[in-house]
Amino acid sequence: MHAKSHPVLQIDSVGVDIEGVTLLDQVSMSVEAGEVIALVGPNGAGKSTLVRAISGEQQLSRGKIAFNNAPMADWPLEALAVHMAFMPQQSVLDFPFTAREVVALGRIPHSTGQLIDSQVVEQVLAYLGVGYLADRVYPSLSGGERQRVQLARVLAQIWTPVEHPRLLVLDEPTSNFDLAHQLLVVKLLREIAFQGISVLVVMHDLNLAMSCADRIAMLCCGQLQAIGRPESVLTSSNIRQSFGVDAEFIQDSVTGQKHLAFTATDRVKT
């Protein structure tokens, strides 16, 4: 019998306070190799704070985070950057770089040489179907095009196998995407996970989260309300408590697929 491997990411009793306000409190969860976890919750639940804490952009007030069985603080930045990539909600870049040059930024932490790096950039551009944007100047792109280029950049960062398991952290990667590109991201995340790369992705659309995630983690008011298989977390009571709406599963009679339908409800009676 093989010993159970350590999680790629381990979050233990994490808390974040900013100017006396608690944004996260006692959050504990883990991410396994090749697993997609969707982080959901209403605005202000602490989702972006948590992923920023994982990326190192937000200092912890309490608790600890371990990556590949070592405290995050013990990882040299260069080594961490070849194993983990983070895509924030917005990436500001006003320099007249081409889309290809922006994607190539993801290869900076690597020492694989210009030839391999160029090959990776072209592979990622083709994989995401944005090769036609390669020579366009980044600031001239639409919001959705910029987001796809940024997604290509973080993919390029973890595209090649390295010593330890890899992790991709995405904060609302579909926010500027139309329906077709949202579904493309769902397919992409499943393919990435199949390669053994772990994914932690913040999503607003619960149906989209359900379609791509192995597990869902639901935050509410800075605390982890539930984590588990999608249908065990996306219950009527959890959704009503967190989002203030009524929800029920509807099953397609032809495909058998289930999706959530929502109706507004009054949270406060006057």
231, pLDDT greater than 50: yes
- Burial (CB < 10 A; 0-12, 13-18, 19+), residue 3, is exposed
Q: Would you state the pLDDT for residue 64?
A: 97
pLDDT band at 1 (very low <50, low <70, confident <90, very high): very low
97, pLDDT greater than 80: yes
pTM to 2 decimals? 0.92
Average pLDDT, integer, range 135-157:
94
pLDDT band at 227 (very low <50, low <70, confident <90, very high): very high
Residues contacting 72, CB < 8 A, separation 6+: 54, 56, 64, 65, 66, 80
Average pLDDT, integer, range 177-203:
92
For residue 223, give the nearest of 46, 57, 61 by alpha carbon.
Answer: 46
